[in-house]
Structure 1
Amino acid sequence: MRGKTCSRTGVILLATALWTPVALAHPHSFITLMTTVMAQDGQMTGLKMQWTMDEITSADLLYDAGDAKPGSPVWKKLAAEVMANVLGQHYFTEVWHNGEKVKFTNLPGEYSLARVNHQAVLSFILPLAHPQPLKGQTYTFATFDPTYFVDMSYDQPADAKLPEALARNCNISVKTPQPNEDTLAFAQSLDKADAPPEDMELGKQFAQQVTIQCQ
C-alpha cells in the first residue's frame, strides 16, 4: 500500500481478504444506501441510514455470524465492530448548511447488523449534535468513502426520503455527479494496492448529493 489510506480502515477493511486480483479499478466494493431524514418539532435531528453491502463484501461478515439468530450476542458484537469503524470515519457522511458543516454526535442513537438473503445490512441513526431548523432552509448531505475504494450510492432517488410530516413543506432530491474524463481515467488506473492522495477526496467527486429544501 502507498499513500494515506486511513479511510480504508473503515467498512472496507472487512472485505480485504475477498478482493480478487482481477478487480483492478476503483471501486472494489459497493454499498447501496437508503436514508430517511429524521425531524422533531420542525427541526432536523438526524439521518436514519441503511447500508446494504454487496455479496462479496458481505461474505466475511456473514461467515463470522454463522447460524446465529438475529439479535444474538454474535450479531451485536459484529455490529459494534462495524459501527466503530464507521464512527472512526465520521459516518462517511457530510451534512452542509449555509456553507458550513453540520456537526454530529460521536455515538449513534441506535444501530444493528442483519442478514438479508446473502447480504449484510447495517442500520443506524446518525444523530446531529444540535437540532437544525428546517423552515425556509436548505441542507445538503452526501455519504462517500474519500478514497473511492467503496462506491456508496442510492439505487434510485426515492431511496433518500422525507417523513410524511416533512414532505408537506419540504422537497428532497438526489443529484448524481458526472466526473470529467481525467477523473474517471485516474480512478480506473488505481489497483487494489493504490490509494489516491488524501487531499484529492476522489470519492467525493463521485458522491451523490442529496438536497433538502423547505418552504
Structure 2
Amino acid sequence: MTGAPRIAGAIFDLDGTLADTIPICFVTFRRALERLGGPSYTDTEIRARFGPSEDGMFQRALPARWQEAFTAYLEEYERHLPLCEGLFPGVADALRVLRERRIPTALVTGKSSPTTLMSLKAFGVDGVFDAIETGSPTGIVKAAAIARVVATWRVPPPGVVYVGDAVADMQAAHEAGVLPIAAAWAPSAVAAELEATKPHALFTDAGDFHAWLAARCPD
C-alpha cells in the first residue's frame, strides 16, 4: 500500500465487491441454460465467460435461443437473489462514510442493467450511487465507463478509487488512470492474482477497506 491520497470519488464493482453474488450468478446462468436444453457448464467454465454482460454471454452460449435464455436467467436471478445475505458489512460502512462526507460514488459493473437494478434494490442501495454504468454484450467496457464517470465529476483520475474483485477490474482501473483497489474479501476472490496486477491497495477484509477509506475522505 503506497501513499495516503485524499479520495475525491469512489467507484465500485458489484459482483464479489458489494456482495457475494457470484455463486448466484453461477447457479442462475446454469439453470437458465438447463431450462432451454442448452449446454451444461461448471462454475469455472461460467467464470471464463465473464466479460460481456449476461445477455452477451447467452448470445455466445446459445445463439439460436439467447433471448429466451436471458429471460429465463432474469427469472432465476430474481428468484435466487434473496439467498444472498446482502452487502458485505464493511462495504455498507464505506458507502455510509462516502455519503456522510459527500464524496461522489458510482457503480461500474459488467452486469446487465436488469440484474444490476434487481441487485441494488435487494440490497437497499438503489438510489445511493450518483452514476451507474452497466456492461455491454460485446465485451469488457469498464475502462471507458470509469473514464466517463470521472469526466462528469471533473476531478483528477488519480483522486478516484475503483474497487473490484477481479483481475479485469484492476486492469480497467489502471487503463482509466484511477487508483485500483483490490477487493479480495469475497470467497471467490483470488488475492494472489489480484496482487500480481499491482493494485494501489489490496484488502482481504472489507472492514479494513472501510477504515482505510475513512482515513482518506476529507470531513
Q: Fold match, TM over 0.5?
A: no
Q: What's the TM-score once normalised by structure 1's chain length? A: 0.32
Q: Which has the higher helix share?
A: 2
TM-score, normalised by the number of residues in structure 2: 0.31
